[in-house]
Copies of this chain bind each other. A is one copy, B any other.
Amino acid sequence: MRVLVTGGTGFIGRWAAASLAAAGHEVFVVSRKLATMPGCKIIVADLLDPSMAEVALAVSKPEVVLHLAWDVEHGKFWDAEANLRWTVATIQLVSAAHQAGVRRIVCAGTCMEYDLSSGHACSEVETNIRPSTLYAVSKDAARRIIEELAATRGIEFAWGRLFFLFGPNEHPNRLVSSIVMNLLARRPVLMSSGVQVRDFTNVRDAGEALARLAVSKVNGAVNIASGEALRIKELAEEIRAVAGGVGELCFGALPDRPNEPPVIVADVTRLRNEVGYRPLRTMRDRLSETIQWWQARLEA
Does A148 belong to the interface (CB within 8 Å)? Answer: yes
Chain B nearest Cβ from A32, distance in angstroms: 20
Contact A144 B141, beta carbon cutoff 8 Å: yes
Q: Is the interface of A mostly helix, strand, loop or mixed?
A: helix
Give the A interface residue count (CB, 8 A): 25
Interface residue? A191 (CB, 8 A) = no
Whether a CB of chain B sits under 8 angstroms from the CB of A202 is: no
Contact A87 B145 (CB under 8 A): yes
A94 and chain B: residue at smallest CB distance: B84
Complex formed: what's the CA distance from A33 to B149 in Å? 30
**Chain B residues closer than 8 Å to A133, beta-carbon distance:** 148
A134 at the interface (CB under 8 A from B): yes
CA–CA, A141 and B94, complex, Å: 15
Q: Tell whether A267 is near chain B: CB-to-CB under 8 Å.
A: no
Give complex CA distance A134, B95 in Å. Answer: 13
When chains A and B are docked, how far (Å) is the Cα of A88 from the Cα of B90? 10
Within the oligomer, what is the number of copies of this chain? Answer: 2
Given A88-B88, A88-B91, A152-B79, are A144 and B134 also a contact pair (CB < 8 Å)? no
Cα-based distance from A88 to B84 in the complex (angstroms)? 9
CB distance from A260 to the nearest CB of B (A): 18
Beta-carbon nearest neighbor of A92 in chain B:
B88
Residues of chain A whose beta carbon lies under 8 Å from any beta carbon of chain B: 79, 81, 84-85, 87-88, 91-92, 94-95, 98, 131, 133-134, 137-138, 140-142, 144-145, 147-149, 152
Smallest Cβ distance from A297 to chain B, in angstroms?
Answer: 35
Residues A145 and B84 in contact, CB atoms below 8 Å apart = yes
Contact A152 B140 (CB under 8 A): no
Q: What is the CB-to-nearest-CB distance from A112 to chain B, in angstroms, rounded to a whole number? A: 12
Contacting pair B137 A144 (CB below 8 A):
yes
**B79 lies within 8 A of A95 (CB):** no
Q: Provide a sorted-by-A list of 15 A–B residue pairs whose CB atoms are within 8 angstroms.
A: A79-B152, A84-B92, A84-B95, A85-B95, A87-B91, A88-B92, A134-B148, A137-B144, A137-B147, A137-B148, A140-B144, A141-B141, A141-B144, A141-B145, A144-B144
- Max chain B CB contacts within 10 Å: which of A79, A88, A98, A138? A88
A145 contacts across to B, CB distance below 8 A: 84, 87, 134, 137-138, 141
Closest Cβ–Cβ distance, residue A191 to chain B (whole Å) = 28
